[in-house]
Amino acid sequence: MEEQEPQQTGSQPMPEGLLYHYTDQKGLNGILESGSIRATHYRFLNDTQERKEAPTLVFECIEKLFPNPKPKYWDRVTPALKKAWEDIDAYFVSFTQEPGSNGDRLSQWRGYSLDHHGFSLGFNAARLKSKAEMMMDMNDKKRPSIYLLKCLYDEEKKRILSHDSVKVHWKTAVEKWEERNKNKTSLENGKSIGKELADNLEPFQENLLKFSAMFKHQGFREESEWRIVLYMHCELTNPDLIQFRDGFFGRTPFISIPLGLKDPDSPLERIVVGPAQDKEQSVARLRIDLAKLGIQGVEVVPSKIPYRNW
């Protein structure tokens, strides 16, 4: 099946249908009892190439689009942008978009039902993003960037997006800055990057941040992943936001995103109980748990897949 173009949020449409987050019994209990979901630091995820592919492609495009020899200030601009990008921490929450399977996908159960108790939680995308934005509104002046992004796996489409971003945002900004400053010595001796240039490149940097979270190796294509991304400048990170848990890769930093599960506009709409020997009992137990926790309006259904791993 042909991969669809990523539809980004903001002025563009939200994903159709619910976004599903697969987890085990411990993860489910943590989400329901705390009323929050964890965004994990990108360096502690299972993809060793997280946030590496996009900068490589983008800066390759920059080299190709600009002829040689490059101006003297060039050696100061690109390192500054790379450092600015590296100084930003990223935290991800992963979801899968499953038209047709509705949170009941065999490959995901195989990954998250190792203890025979897997669950997929179906979230309304718009309300999910809204809850994340409300939580991060604590500091109006230094508010971290928040995105809801669809991962992109197709290599050619990644290159096209990178090329277009460089051509539109980088090339335009640099050429305008060069024209305005062509008679200034700072342009030739490279002593100043120029605040005007840095300001003009902000749209380019924003695109680089998005691509860094969107671009995934094609080996992960089956996951059809969407993700909430929280970007925080290292020097602005509020340490009170960062928590730690014991994970597969050791002590793992994460940020809790409140979901407002008891609110009328809770984003949680559906929970699928994965294949298990006692899944009917698990459905009944989960409905009782939700009622005791005061979480209403959530549909709880058993998996329809006759998969057995016990």
Instruction: Assign 3-class secondary structure to 155-172.
Output: HHHHHHHHHHHHHHHHHH
pLDDT for position 9: 39
Across the strands, what pairs with 121? 21, 271
Quick: pLDDT tens for 102-135: 999 999 998 887 767 899 999 999 999 999 888 7
Has residue 183 got a pLDDT over 80?
A: no
| Cβ contact 208:85 at 8 Å | yes
Quick: pLDDT tens for 258-281: 999 999 999 999 999 999 888 899
Domain ranges of the chain: 19-302
Pick from 97, 85, 141: nearest CA to 7 = 97
- Taking the C-alpha atoms of residue 140 and residue 143, their distance in angstroms, rounded to an integer, is 5
Q: pTM for the full model?
A: 0.87
